[in-house]
Amino acid sequence: MAALSGTLLNAATVLLGGLLGTALGDRLPERVRENVVRGVGLFTLAMGAKLALETTNLLYLLGSILVGGMLGALWGIDRRLEALGESLQRRFAAPGGTSTVGEAFVTATIVFLVGPLTFLGSIENGLTGDASLLTIKSVLDGFTSIALAATLGWGVLLTLPVLLLYQGGLALGASGLAGLLSDPQLAEMSAAGGLLVIGVGLKLLSIRDVRVADFLPAILVAPVLVAVVARVKEALAP
């Protein structure tokens, strides 16, 4: 159940936010929504820095982010995610721009699931039981769901089953791998994730549009680097 704690919290905030937004309609001031996003952005920077500084060796962090970033750029992860979101939006958007239940569902699904915090938070929650990243995402998604529901209607709530299945599946899958990784490998995965979270914070604060999704492979590169270095040390040991 610990592996799903963050996902369940996320679903609860989206549910409450969606219900509140539907009730409020368009009466929620835009300035309130903007300040919430900025506040979450500041907190996200602090959380990311804390995680990144827990690395046991800065060279692991450097290698992970550089190799991961190159792999992500070669695979075009960020570009593919953006294209997926745009494709879904074009396919399901209502003719003439009229808000519909279908459009609300698709828009909410893109916002809540097509992003680095979804992947990072679910993996972190599954591997270690730590729901900190998904807690950040839950707060952001909760207020975002208020804004979306106020604008597009109750169809935002239809994204809940998808959120539970997708994030829950990622978390449970990561939980199954937790026993295969050593503590140093988990620590470096968390540190690499911290750098990506800083990128999310910079984007939320409109400081820099970091293509965070392109750096997602760094999470997988980190434990591999730790294992390779350990093997090299064993081979070179007298």
pLDDT tens profile 163-191: 999 888 888 888 877 677 788 888 888 88
Which one-letter DSSP state was computed for residue 209? -
Q: What is the pLDDT of residues 49-108, one digit of tens each?
A: 988 898 999 999 999 999 999 999 999 988 887 777 667 666 655 555 544 566 677 667
| Angle at 198 (CA atoms; ends 197, 204), nearest 5 degrees | 90
Is residue 115's pLDDT more than 70? no
Distances from the Cα of 170 to the Cαs of 9, 50, 65, 86, 125, in angstroms? Answer: 15, 24, 22, 23, 9
- Residue 15: pLDDT band (50, 70, 90) is very high
What is the model's pLDDT at position 99?
44
How high is the pLDDT of residue 88?
63
Tally of CB atoms within 10 A around 116: 26
Asked if 218 and 60 count as a contact pair (C-beta separation under 8 A), the reply is: no
What is the per-residue pLDDT for 148? 77
Residue 162 has pLDDT above 80, yes or no: yes
74 by Cβ neighbours in 10 Å (0-12 / 13-18 / 19+) ranks as: exposed
